[in-house]
Amino acid sequence: MREIVTIQVGDFANFIGSHFWNFQDELLGLASDPESDPVFRNHNLDMDVLYRSGETQQGVSTYTPRLVSVNFKGSLGSMSARGTLYNEGSSSRADSSKTWLGGVETKRSEPRKRNLFLQSLYEEEDKAGKEKAREIEDKDIVGCLDEEVECWTDFSKSHYHPQSLYELSGVWTDSQDFNNYGIGKDVFSEASRGEEICDRLRFFVEECDHIQGIKFIVDDSGGFSAVAADFLETIADEYTNIPVLLYSVRSPMSQMNRGSSKKTVSNKLHDAISFSRLSSFCKLFTPIGLPSLSESKASKYLNLGDEKPYRSSAVYAAALHSSTIPFRTQPTSSDSSEVSNSMDVNTLVQLLTGRGRQNMVAILDSAMPAPSLAGKQLENTLLTDLQSLTPEVNEDVEDNQAIESMCILGALRSEDKEASVSEVTNAVDASYEQATTKTRPLFCNLSVSRCPLPIPLPFPSIFGNLVGRKGEILSSPVSDSLYRGSLDVHSIPIVARWRSSSAILPFLESRMVNLEKLGIQWGAMGSDLVRTWGFGREELQEMRENMSKMVSELKPQFLESSDSD
């Protein structure tokens, strides 16, 4: 078995992770349900890649994500830091009070109440047979989530191991106060936090037989970037041969209201230093987070609200799920009717970074839901429907050295008829043959699964009224409602694509230029600020040099002009 350990650091990273694990939980349930669609019962996915088997002290078998989650103290809402399957441990605070001979006054805050979804999830009463009551209750649940979600645990249907959930003790309870690299720089090393977090990772890694990689998701819009960088540096030292796939994620809200010119300088320097530090300790770096999803092509068939992380994180989680399917696809014969082209993490890394150019910053695209194969529809719209989820990308660029890895799940031949693996492969080949030279890559790896993305009950109601029950694109609205959710749409076809392309140059160049202009040049506006963050001029120059090398890999003439200067 080739296991993957997942790490989620920061608030938005955990929102994405919550949706991601909901997808996995839904797949597990559908695979064991004799009444579910055969495509879910025969999905050919090895869930042991992401999950571990265990047992409680009472001898009850458990199956939980191989996960380490790091977030603020108090960010778990009504969920215990020990999860829901295992007994609560004794309170260390109560034990330590025995050494105090004076009076003790205990003040406890009211525990947060579970919302309607969580109440239904953990209720003991069996409502089997009460279909009508269940339908009404599900409608109430779906309706309340969009209004009441505050924490990522508010819509999580997964159970977690006691080693999985780590809360940072300290004064930060609001991401608005934890908003730059400097403020998070010493958090990992202080108060034994780093040691405690690494112990949790070690617990999961050491029980793996043949770990294939670490999937690391970090909300890098603020201080968690520094926490993640220190964590990654420790991982690089301790697990030298384990490749790390790093997703740096940002919510639309974190990119709004940038404020004064002083704040703008701080944000630009944060972006540059965060990228430089994080990219130093991974094999593949994928930035995710558009300033506005609602104004992008991603909203073509979706109704997205940028102000709600519950909604935007669902789109990013769907892309992460789809793009990582090949890592857990069970190897099959080349003529398999269910899946094609499994690969491990290292194979993907070598594909995207080792063919000619040494570019390790990838673009992630997605089409959700994907168009059907009916007639010439896929050939005409597949490539144009793909929306980059990576910010600061130049799509109007010709790159004949681009490398791609595309994953297509649950493609439909027409309306609600599933397409075969061979039909999807032929349609994709045809779409690239008809593509302009500008959009045609040097090489494209294609992985196909007939299993679509299942839509769990707590998924947000973001589908428009042109999306059908199986995610098919309808010719006319199916209802007057603009917001359709899991009760209306049960699954969707989806496409995700990784790209190694010079289209990422604006992302790289802006960080390199801002670091030079605002942090390194004599008299730079942000030179004093970066010193308070603990970075000297020589260290910044080294960061700038590393970014310069990244740019030159995709733009050789840049290195020539730099040398001439």
In this predicted model, what pLDDT tens digit does every residue of 143-179 receive, in sequence order? 889 888 999 999 999 999 999 999 998 755 566 778 8
Mention every residue, 6+ apart, whose C-beta is less than 8 A from residue 35.
none
Separation in Å, CA 209 to CA 1, 48, 94: 7, 11, 39
In this prediction the pTM is 0.92
pLDDT band at 93 (very low <50, low <70, confident <90, very high): very low
Q: How far apart are CA 438 and CA 434, in angstroms?
A: 11
Query: Average pLDDT of 450-456?
Result: 96
Per CATH, which fold does 4-90+152-322 belong to?
A: Rossmann fold (3.40.50)
Residue 445 has pLDDT above 60, yes or no: yes
- φ, ψ (nearest 5 deg) of residue 418: -70, 145
* C-alpha dihedral sign at 528, 533, 537, 543: negative
Q: Which amino acid is at 332?
A: T
* C-alpha dihedral sign at 388, 439, 446, 247: negative
Cis peptide before 452 (omega within 30 of 0): no
Residue 50 has pLDDT above 60, yes or no: yes
pLDDT per residue over 283-322, tens digit each?
Answer: 999 999 999 999 998 899 999 988 999 999 999 999 999 9
pLDDT band at 114 (very low <50, low <70, confident <90, very high): confident
Q: Which amino acid is at 476?
A: S
Query: CA 49: distance to chain centroid?
Result: 17
* C-alpha dihedral sign at 502, 507, 512, 514: positive
Q: How many residues does the chain have?
A: 565
Q: Which amino acid is at 298?
A: A
Q: Which amino acid is at 24?
A: Q
Tell me the H-state helices in 45-187: 92-96, 116-122, 131-148
Separation in Å, CA 539 to CA 381, 536, 565: 46, 5, 22
Specify the DSSP element, H or E, that contains 445.
strand 443-449
CB 204 within 8 A of CB 233: no
Beta bridge partners of 5: 214
Tell me the H-state helices in 334-486: 345-353, 377-385, 421-434
- φ, ψ (nearest 5 deg) of residue 180: -150, 165
* C-alpha dihedral sign at 332, 337, 341, 344: negative
Q: Name the residue among 117, 264, 273, 106 with its Cα closest to residue 182.
A: 273
